[in-house]
Amino acid sequence: MSPKKCPLDREQLEELTKQFSTPFHLYDEAAIRSNARALKAAFAWSPGFKEYFAVKAAPNPYLMKILKTEGFGADCSSLPELMLAESVGLSGEEIIFTSNDTPVNEYVKASQLGAIINLDDITHIEFLEQCAGLPELVCFRYNPGPLKGGNAIIGHPEEAKYGFTRPQLFEGYRILRDKGVKRFGLHTMVASNELEATYFIETAHLLFDLVDELFAELGIKFEFINIGGGIGIPYKPEQKAVDLTVVGEGIRKLYAEKIEKAGRGLLDVRMECGRMMTGPYGWLVSRVLHKKNTYKQYVGLDACMANLMRPALYGAYHHITVPGKENLPHNFVCDVTGSLCENNDKFAINRALPPVEVGDLMVIHDAGAHGHAMGFNYNGKLRSAELLLRENGEVVQIRRAETPQDYFATLDFAGLNNFKA
Ligand SMILES: *Cc1c(COP(=O)(O)O)cnc(C)c1O
């Protein structure tokens, strides 16, 4: 069971809305830090363990900075993400650049930053060499195809556009070796939002075995394996979070059996989780604008799918609470909607809630990853502010809400670019 709680109660949220109008995303620094420490503790046996926060989950430098002070790096896959990592003072091998279908300027930037470059395809060896030169350390993304089952969000690995096939992996490392590359990493990422701890242990197993085979065939040693991100979070109250100590302990055992026994020197275990680092510690706070009773009951919020797209995009479940009404009977069944002119702009369908009134606050849980980040402007909808609850209880704004000027910023059209809200 994963009880769904917002760190601020109704009164505190109401107080906050005097300063910041709804909707807004709220993040909890103390909870983000304590989860980050739990992940580190699970891998305390591995001195080189490093988590590279997948920036796309919550691309806000204030959040990235919190994770940096916990010792984490950044996993980037675009130019602006690399710029964000740079802005918080991450550099060199604290950044891993895992891109695909990569444009020249991104390899150039990653290379200037000295980031670990994780290639998605064998043809990118030559592409990278031509646009930025081959660095001393290169990593490949492996796609195990039918050798590993995927899951619902990422799909079957053999249908996934990412990574090298097994034969390409051997060929690719041979090319690198022959070109004089000295340092090697091996990466894979085959699941997303996976709640089964054994899945990650099996992924490490797969990579440990592969490192052995690559050594046997090519005589190259690996500095690290990166088992990717994909640790899931319990979006539903009846689900259970992944037990990180089980993951850490399972990988430790394999490490002892396979890496320490082989005696070829140690390698680091790395990860690049996004969702589990911030997801459960972020909430979308909104207010009920309207109630509507037609063929169904509807509750309309001042937030819409531009603020949190997962339910509309994947039919994903996000728990919803009505602050102050948590303990009332949940016998009001309704669809919770936003205002976008798309019928899938619904945060919940046939959800049992307590009796809801216009003006009530609503809290949508587990919105801290792939939430604000997936925001968009379709239908003239504007992205909300992001607020951070500091460890001392203070709430600070870490991103302001968009205004119509932001929406028009890329237009040079009389009457719009001077628009005043
Ligand atoms: C999205 C992504 C991640 C993070 O995935 P989560 O499910 O958020 O942990 C890590 N690595 C790569 C390459 C990704 O594309």
What's the pLDDT tens digit per position in 57-91? 999 999 999 999 999 999 999 999 999 999 999 99
The tokens for 347 are: 């945060």
Among the residue ranges 167-171, 265-269, 326-330, 357-361, the one predicted with the least confidence is 265-269
DSSP one-letter code for 328: S
Among the residue ranges 240-249, 253-262, 380-389, the one predicted with the least confidence is 253-262
pLDDT, position 154: 54
pLDDT in tens, 39-65: 999 999 998 999 999 999 999 999 999
273 lines ligand 1 (CB under 6 A): yes
pLDDT, position 421: 52
197 lines ligand 1 (CB under 6 A): no
Class of domain 29-277: alpha beta
CB 181 within 8 A of CB 116: no
CB 207 within 8 A of CB 189: no
Is this model's pTM higher than 0.85 or not?
yes
Angstrom distance (rounded) from CA 356 to CA 358 = 7
pLDDT, position 191: 87
Mean pLDDT of the region 375-398: 98
Characterize the bridge pairing of strands 268-271 and 50-54. Answer: parallel
150 has pLDDT over 70: no
User: 273 C-alpha to center of ligand 1: Å?
Assistant: 6
262 has pLDDT over 90: no
According to CATH, where is 3.20.20.10 located in the chain?
29-277
pLDDT in tens, 195-220: 999 999 999 999 999 999 999 999 99
The tokens for 281 are: 């510690």
The tokens for 245 are: 């100590």
According to CATH, where is 2.40.37.10 located in the chain?
280-407
Q: Which fold has domain 280-407?
A: Lyase, Ornithine Decarboxylase; Chain A, domain 1 (2.40.37)
User: 154 C-alpha to center of ligand 1: Å?
Assistant: 10
Share of the chain above pLDDT 70, in %: 97
pLDDT, position 419: 55
Q: How confident is the model at residue 148 (pLDDT cuts 50, 70, 90)?
A: low
Mean pLDDT of the region 246-273: 94
Closest Cα partner for 1 from 239, 161, 226?
239
230 lines ligand 1 (CB under 6 A): yes
Ligand 1, from 56, 64, 235: best to mutate by most atoms within 8 Å of Cβ? 56
CB 104 within 8 A of CB 131: yes
pLDDT, position 416: 83
275 lines ligand 1 (CB under 6 A): yes
R_g of the chain computed on alpha carbons: 23
Closest atom of ligand 1 to 232 CA is: 7
pLDDT, position 223: 97
User: 142 C-alpha to center of ligand 1: Å?
Assistant: 14
189 lines ligand 1 (CB under 6 A): yes
Compute the mean pLDDT over every residue in the chain, rounded to the nearest whole number: 95
pLDDT in tens, 13-41: 999 999 999 999 999 999 999 999 999 99
Closest atom of ligand 1 to 276 CA is: 9
Q: Which amino acid residue places its CA nearest to atom 3 of ligand 1? A: 229
332 φ/ψ angles, rounded to the nearest 5 degrees: -105, 110
Ligand 1, from 53, 63, 75, 193: best to mutate by most atoms within 8 Å of Cβ? 75
pLDDT, position 255: 97
User: 75 C-alpha to center of ligand 1: Å?
Assistant: 8
CB 277 within 8 A of CB 59: no
pLDDT, greater one: 242 or 415: 242
